Structure 1
Amino acid sequence: MGALLATSTLMLSVYTIVETTNYGWTSAHTVSFGAAALALLLAFVARQAKAAHPLLPLRVFRSRNVWGAMGIQALMVAGMFSFQFLCVLYLQKVLGFDETHTGLGIFPVSVAIGAMSLGLSPKLIARFGPRAVLLPGLSLITAGLAALGRVPAGGIYVVDVLPALLPLGIGFGLAMPSLATLAMSAATPQDSGIASGMFNTMQQIGSVFGLAILSTLAASHTDALLAGGASTTSALTGGYHLAFRIGSGLVTVALLLAATLLRSPATAQRPAAEKEPVAESATR
């Protein structure tokens, strides 16, 4: 029952968002289906609170670091999807890139994420703590998305696009390992598997809602610009600008939440070598 309620909530929510292009955000259709999705979500929570063997034990969310990291991750991924989907469309439909050149154009982001995640991020987290690494990572993502929100219709990849993509890759490579560390460090051994699964699930939820919301808003704004007499290229660019800026706003909210909600894990106990003098003095 819990899985059915969760799946139904997500499907109905995404359907409601996507259909706003046909019915509008304040229409009876949108409001009624949105209310139904909210009712399903509340039913899921109620079911998890009462079930003997819940799909998602609510005790997992007693830790501020756990639910805070998951919420921040959802916002971050939702914002990043304005890049992953719409930047590809910008390269193809506005700059005229083919599939090969589009893939090569996005490739630096993957390289930066891999280099940060596998190389520098673990060392920085061990040295400064995950929260101290997360904040500049989110700041870089915010800056990169804001820069994409200003790319011109006649942009040049090396001048206008690449300088925005590199902060996205570096920031995501810093932020994701930091969030995972914060979420898992606060989970009890009993709930570590559930917390890990929920952390991965929140990434998928953030991407689904981010894609649905941002692509819908971009398409609606593009249609409005076309109706106002703008050229196809200018209208598409304007729609992408709106999505990138909203994505930057989502990550900005994530940054503010990270700065106010999250706390670095408690420092480990001092090494035994540091404790020996105290023990020796106590025996004398």
Structure 2
Amino acid sequence: MPETAQLDPRRWKALAFIAIAQLMVVLDATIVNIALPSAQKSLDISDANRQWVITAYALAFGGLLLFGGRIADMWGRRRTFITGLIGFAGASALGGAAVNEQMLLGARALQGAFGALLAPAALSLLAVMFTEAKERAKAFGIFGAIAGGGGAVGLILGGLLTEYLDWRWTFFVNIPFAIVAVTGAVLVIREPAGGHNSSSLDIPGVILATTGLVSLVYGFTRAQTDGWRAGATIGLFVAAVVLLAAFVLVESKVKAPLLPLRVVIDRNRGGVYMSLGLAVIAMFGLFLFLTYYLQIVRGYSPVKTGFSFLPMIAGMITGSTQIGARLMTRVPPRMLMAPGFVTAAIGMLILTQLQVGSSFTTLVLPAEVLLGLGMGTAFMPAMSLATHGVQPRDAGVASAMVNTSQQVGGAIGTALLNTIAASATATWVTSHAAQAGKLGKTNFINQAAVHGYATAIWWAVGILVVSATIAAVLINTGQGDSGPAVASGDGQDEGVEDLAIPVIAH
């Protein structure tokens, strides 16, 4: 093997710092959720505007991910990684020090923007640093567990910080994470030589992709508050379709596209992006419902609510590192992803039986464990397969597509399933109005809410079944037939062969 492809002995230390950065980005999607009521009261944010604390982050993150991935390919993944970390820490400090609503919302948007630089750079660094089959399996097992469980970790950490310190620490906590990761990146991470994309930036593609994704995410957000038939909601969805269609057309014509279509038309990578995005829709919706159920219906404190997600985290870690990583080199990826999503669907199916007085131990706990095991098992090969067969100079944008599917899926899941739950709750209230006096006001409201949650969770079960079907049908690479292989034959691969990155097993 050429010397340029020799394995760097520091790569395991590098993985630790990449994992810290990834955890920071993923948990920040949920850590503010539990702190939001306190921040709203402290800064006098109206009920109508409080959603923007979450939405500002999602819009900037989801809208700029493809741009961030391409910047990583052009500018260097390590340099982009460090820049993203420093910017994210600065934005977090600004959010923690916010003195009014505008300052907080601006900080959240900045966090999303720098997260869009950081997240694809982290995953693409991993893709080009770990090229040996067994080590790659272990590395992506760890990374997959963090990517899958980070949202739940955010709920726990948000509860602890809010209850025992102050909501501002849900922002300040990112600063030590970033300092450690930057230090490690400077001292330890060494990006393999070559593989950068020196082409000029596709400005029309950047504008169309960003505005299209922002319109899509914002459309689902407006649907949650204004309804699906509202003019603004419909207008945003129409704009998203037009802009994204124009983006695809432009990408097929320009010489140096932001998102080379070769990255997404591959059936294996396309299967990963679709199945992962759908699974995240179901999972993020569940985070929302379980948080409300435990805090509002069962009266749990923020800390107790956060720790109630520990079984799910344990399941994700076990599924990713003990099942996915161990079997990744022995079975085809679809044999992990499809059964993983089915297992998660079974866990979700248990939660459709949720009642006001359901036992955490006998109903919620086993459901969480199955969800965690299934998602962890499926996420792990998905993260690795996302860069299957991709040219090294496209590793950043291929990695960005994974994050885009997750971020857009999370935003859609929260809005879509919450809208379904709200509609089901309203219908239940109307049909059971005669029982309100007999049940008592609080019990009546709680039963209506839980009925709405259960209805939405049925939809989540169906979404996970579709996700499993996509993984089983589209993903057809074999156990020894996937990895960061350098594609050839299209006349665009000159200058990357010297990386000698082999085809390895997933």
Q: Which letter maps to 1:178?
A: P
Choose from 252, 257, 274 the match for 1:54.
Answer: 257
Aligned to 2:268: 65
Instruction: Give the partner amino acid of 2:253.
Output: K
| Closer/same/farther in 2, CA of residues 77 and 266 from structure 1, 3 Å limit | same
Match of 1:271 in 2: none
In structure 2, the partner of 1:245 is: 458
2:258 paired with 1:45: no
1:87 aligns with one of 267, 281, 290: 290
Work out whether residues 182 and 264 of structure 1, in 8 Å CA contact, stay in contact via their aligned partners in 2.
no
* Distance across 2 between alignment mates of 1:49 and 1:204: 25
**C-alpha displacement of 1:119:** 3.1
Q: Tell me the residue number matched to 1:264.
A: 477
Q: Is the 8 A contact 1:215 1:243 kept in 2?
A: yes
* Alignment check: 8 A CA contact 1:182 1:265 kept: no
Give the distance between the partners of 1:15 and 1:61, measured in 2 at CA: 24
Asked if structure 1 preserves the Cα contact closer than 8 Å seen for 2:281 and 2:410, the reply is: yes
| SS at structure 2 position matched to 1:54 | coil
Higher helix share: 1
Matches within 5 A, 1:190-269: 190-228=393-431, 229=433, 231-265=444-478, 267=480
Matched with 2:207 is: 4
State the match for 1:74 in structure 2. 277
Q: Distance in 2 between matches of 1:24 and 1:181?
A: 38
CA distance in 2, matches of 1:21, 1:80: 17
1:182-206 deviation digits (Å, cap 9, x = unpaired):
3322323443332122122211111
Corresponding residue for 2:347? Answer: 144
Q: Indicate if the aligned counterparts of 2:335 and 2:472 stay in contact, CA closer than 8 A.
A: no
Q: How far did residue 26 of structure 1 move?
A: 4.1
Secondary structure, counterpart of 2:349 in structure 1: helix
Q: Alignment partner of 1:128: what SS?
A: coil
Q: Deviations over 1:60-88 (max 9, x none)?
A: 12310011111111011111112122111
Structure 1 residue 27 displacement after superposition: 5.1
Contact kept in structure 1, 2:314 and 2:372, CA below 8 Å: yes
Deviation at 1:210, TM superposition (A): 1.1
Structure-2 residue corresponding to 1:165: 368
TM-score, normalisation: structure 1: 0.86
Deviations 1:136-160 (A, max 9, x none): 1111111111111211121111012
Query: Does the 8 Å contact 2:217/2:412 carry over to 1?
Result: yes
The size of the alignment, in residue pairs, is 268
Q: How does 1:109-120 map to 2 (within 5 A)?
A: 109-120=312-323
Percent identity, please: 34
Gaps of 5+ in 2: 1-203, 437-443, 482-506
Alignment of 1:167-182 (within 5 A): 167-182=370-385
Task: Note closer, same or farther for the CA distance 1:7–1:190 as it changes in structure 2 (3 Å cut).
Answer: closer
CA distance in 2, matches of 1:195, 1:17: 25
Structure 2 residue aligned with 1:273: none
Which residues of structure 1 form unaligned runs of 5+?
269-284
